[in-house]
Structure 1
Amino acid sequence: MLKDKKILLFVTGGIAVYKAASLTSKLVQAGAEVKVVMSESAMKFVTPLTFQSLSRNDVFHDTFDEKIPGKIAHIDLADWADAAVIAPATANVIGKVANGIADDMISTILLAVTAPIFIAPAMNVHMYEHKAVQRNMNRLREDGYTFIEPNEGYLACGYVGKGRLEEPEAIVEVLSAHFDADKLPLSGKKVLITAGPTRERIDPVRYVSNYSTGKMGYSLAEAALKMGAEVTLVSGPVTVTAPPNARLISVESASEMYEAVMAEMGSANIIIGTAAVADYKPAEAATQKIKKQDDDMSLAMTRTKDILAEAGKRKSGQILVGFAAETNNVEEYAKKKLVKKNADMIVANDVMKEGAGFGTDTNIVTLYKKDGTSVELPLMSKLQTAEAILHEVARMEAIGANV
């Protein structure tokens, strides 16, 4: 899909510059014409000659170095591009673009580009999570920029966390999908996802909840967006950041999540319930803080509404996927849940296994389907697990494997 496409690649300073060299090569191999613009900092890591050799084009870095008489380079390059990519994108360049600063060739060109712009951040995890950086990224998302989210893992600075530049192959896939959006597995589909825990109030300062972090649901939302879906994410209280371009509905209690799902499911093609919804809530929530007493205390609990079961009753052609986090008899409970909830697939995992519990960045799951078959997935990152789940859902959706 990249044959003869004109890709303007902006390379800013960071150790991940070496991946930008690989990205240049892969884009050229895919048939794209690539022109590279480097920051002064980027040239301290890799020389312009490297990118010139890989792209077979001149490399630009000085706003006042006009290579072609009669053309203003930064305007000519901006007009030339079918798409622009900033990879790696440092916190510095993100801040500049978000605030309309033009003090070097890259930031000057970016103000003139009218083609779609993709930003692939790469930085230390604490820098990535800094409020100013998050604020700048959110502003750019609102302005229509597309982010290619960084990976989690070991960083050059020695930290482990989110901040690794996405792999060149994945960036090429994102660009290819942009130019051929209709061929994405979930193109044109609306996906409704629940994520995170719910909180059931005991009094104004206490609640009943669980260990869910929302990471699996948010990874599913991110993967669904990459696969071309329109995503609505109904989330309980979490600390993770919502994926770019997902429509976020924040809730707290099981009843709030129930109401949101019931209101949204009619327009969805695919419904995925990853949220760890409380099964019980206090029968009555005190309006004032319950004071400590000398004796023991009993708390009367009542059942919450079963969101997945109700969605199973109401569905009319949608694919319905539930999750089952178990500590024993995983297959037995998953298969029972599949029937009881009228789901099309249950994603089950043993949370006692290392790498598969709440709060981890990995998962080990088995997919149990209505047709009696199952798919066992190995230990993978939650994003990889999400992608595997959604590819299976896409196949089911394509053949109409839902009732």
Structure 2
Amino acid sequence: MTTATPKLPPRKRLRISLRSEAFTGLLWQILVVGIAIAVVAWLWSNAVHNLSVRRISTGFAFLGREAGMPITDTWLSYSPRDTYLRAFMVGIVNTLRVAVIGIMLATVLGTMIGIARLSANWLLSRLAAVYVEVLRDVPLLLQLLFWYVLMQGLPGARAAWRPIEGVYLSNRGLMLPSIPIGEGQLWVLGTAAVGLLVFYLLRRYLIARQMQDGKPRYVWPYGLVLVIAAPALVSWALGVFWTVTLPELRGFNFVGGLTLAPEYFALLIALVTYTSAFIAEIVRSGIQAVPKGQWDAALALGLRRSFVLKHIVLPQALRVIVPPMTSQYLNLTKNSSLAVAIGYQDIVSIANTTLNQTGQAIEAIALIMAVFLTISLGISLFMNWYNARIALVER
């Protein structure tokens, strides 16, 4: 017995006629793209001609020359004798320091403020409302200058504030205890990161099996082995020593520990507090978007409000929270370029110095645009992936 193969629907042919909507649409697209390419080509040729008339060299060969600019606050090794390329790498790392840490802190603080706005405690909800309204209505640049001037007004190193042992706050910045990271420590941290990934995948697999057969499976022993025991074994095998270095005052400055420069600390505080005010409203609206019946049904079962918020309301609210949260993450990353106003040497500040030294404005601005475009696209791709994972799937 033979089965007939299903026939594919006939392909639609493009009718070459001005009356065809598809053909005219294609013509308009070709025309718009052609005009855009022509405009860009004209601008490029005009810029090259003007630069050649003024005897200004073009290209990125300057990246291999000695920079000669000092960069004081950096996590990478750098000296003025390094190349411009190395200086740009330092600027990119400094920008990522602000963007990544700022996003994490703003998310935590904004979520707490957003939940506080919905609190039944009148004083707590009013304080959270004042926080949101004041910080959203004051321009970010003014807040940045306020925090920087406040940091400059702190006492000197000899009279630094010490809220707790090993932590100092002065006009030199914030000094914190630190753990020196070497090659051995990196191996241990890498083992812990791999263990976390394996534990996450294993946990998902065990939960899926439990949903199939209903048999409970304990996950914590695997986490204990992968996340704690395995890194501890690697640390013991490599003979890694974990020491905590505390900042100490020697002369007129501190040595040892981790130092957050006043420019970096002021920029981080301004970005976190400003962005968290917007995130707080996003979290509040996301929670309020969940039907009130979800709360009533959970509370009727005798569940605690904290449990209901964490396991029932917030997972549903995330579908409303994540899309606008992506915009706030992008805004924080782009707003970090205001660091040039207080002298923090991020990618914008280093590019401006390079522009003044070499005169190659187009290349410097193109590098700034490429860096922020790459970071922003990375954030967008990750948030879109996460949003697709938590989206409702209709059957």
TM, length-normalised to structure 2: 0.18
Q: Which has the higher contact order (CA 8 A, sep 6+)?
A: 2
Larger helix percent: 2
Larger Rg: 2
TM, length-normalised to structure 1: 0.18
